[in-house]
């Protein structure tokens, strides 16, 4: 739900990299920062790498037709990543890698052959462009999901099939 703010952008640009919910971004930074700290890497090294990655992500979120040639089998290019932002869920459920494409190859989620998408975003109502709307949107998604789970749980179960044959009135 929180990451959907990033994917709700209908126009993929370098600024899409900075369209995120603070919860999503905080969890991502912690997920990347903690292993570096456990390995004994200095904060300065982590910040330098984080800054370099930010530039790489800016390029990935452009609509540039870069594939990186043979290096595209290792590194995520803008053309590779654009499919992940497609409104078509078959494409959106592919190309998850942040830096390396080989993860998608390993898990069978790489898509290098489908046409590059022309529409981006998420299905359903558009997320308004205001900061407050984007702050609240994931909470609405979570609340709606919880309501749907509760509604499914309160639907009465179908009666058990009878062990008596209605036609003959005898045990089946």
pLDDT of 171? 46
Grouping H, G, I as helix, E, B as strand and the rest as coil, residue 165 is strand
- pTM over the 0.85 mark: no
Q: What is the CA radius of gyration of the chain?
A: 23
Buried b (16+ CB within 10 A) or exposed e, 20-31: bbeebeeeeeee
- pLDDT profile of the chain (172 residues), mean per 10: 88 87 86 82 86 90 91 95 93 93 96 93 81 89 88 63 48 46
């Amino acid at each position: 739900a929180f990451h959907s703010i990033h994917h709700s952008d209908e126009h993929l640009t370098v600024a899409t990299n900075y369209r995120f919910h603070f919860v999503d971004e905080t969890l991502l930074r912690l997920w990347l920062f903690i292993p570096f700290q456990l390995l004994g890497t200095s904060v300065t090294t982590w910040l330098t790498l984080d800054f370099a990655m930010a530039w790489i992500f800016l390029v990935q979120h452009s609509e540039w037709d870069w594939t990186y040639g043979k290096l595209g089998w290792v590194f995520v290019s803008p053309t590779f990543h654009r499919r992940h932002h497609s409104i078509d869920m078959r494409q959106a459920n592919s190309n998850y890698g942040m830096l390396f494409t080989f993860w998608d190859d390993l898990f069978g989620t790489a898509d290098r052959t489908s046409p590059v998408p022309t529409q981006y975003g998420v299905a359903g109502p558009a997320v308004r462009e205001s900061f407050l709307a984007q702050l609240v949107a994931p909470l609405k998604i979570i609340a709606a999901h919880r309501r749907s789970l509760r509604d499914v749980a309160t639907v009465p179960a179908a009666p058990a099939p009878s062990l008596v044959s209605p036609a003959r009135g005898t045990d089946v």
